[in-house]
Amino acid sequence: MIDRLDGRLIELLAEEPRIGVLEASRRLGVARGTVQARLDRLQSQGVIRGFGPQVDPAALGYPVTAFATLEIKQGQGTDVRAHLASVPEVLELHTTTGQGDMLCRLVARSNADLQRVIDKVVGFDGIVRASTAIVMENPVPLRIIPLVKQASED
């Protein structure tokens, strides 16, 4: 899928996103055109989805994160999805194995505010039951580099 040069390029971009193609080619010891071609390929293959800004919810005033497991009434999946998608505090939603189960990531302004968010999330007809786990620590923040290294060494 990706080779070592791709891997090194992604790592380099992850460490110093500000550097341009030219600087990257210098660091990697290859020609500029090569870096450009690799980048184009990685993006068109979908390996690199983009370079959007990584926004910290805590810095926006939402320091509380929680995960909620939802049990859904049969046949209500579509409605529930639309409902959850409309709630800004729902950052992520997955449907998982086990019928009617969904897992979503929530943020809130405070523990008290989390109650409001949960009420907004579960106050919907198709949702039968919800259990919430509040995040206390985040020892491993969302990361991808170790996986990239692994993948590039095949």
Partner DNA sequence: GGCACTGCTGGGCAGAATGCCCAGCGAAGA
Partner DNA sequence: TCTTCGCTGGGCATTCTGCCCAGCAGTGCC
Answer yes or no whether residue 3 interacts with its own copies by CB under 8 A: no
Name residues contacting its own copies, limited to 113-152 (CB under 8 A). Answer: 133-144, 146-151
Closest contact distance (angstroms) between CB of 130 and its own copies is 14
Measure the CA–CA gap between 133 and 111, rounded to whole angstroms. 12
118 lies in the site for DNA, by CB under 7 A: no
Nearest to 132 by CA among 73, 98, 89: 89
CB-based contact 124:68 (threshold 8 Å): no
Which residue, 80, 110, 117, is CA-closest to 95? 80
CA distance 3 to 149: 9
Q: Are 106 and 65 in contact (CB under 8 A)?
A: yes
The mark string for 25-64 relative to its own copies (x by CB under 8 A, - otherwise) is --------------------xxxxxxxxxxxxxxxxxx--
Q: Are the C-beta atoms of residues 5 and 25 closer than 8 Å to each other?
A: no
Q: Which of 11, 23, 79, 113 binds DNA (CB under 7 A)?
A: 23
Residue numbers at the binding site for DNA (CB under 7 A): 5, 18, 20-23, 29-34, 36-38
Binding site for its own copies (CB under 8 A): 1-2, 10, 13-14, 17-18, 45-62, 65, 67, 81, 84-85, 87-98, 101, 103-105, 107, 133-144, 146-151
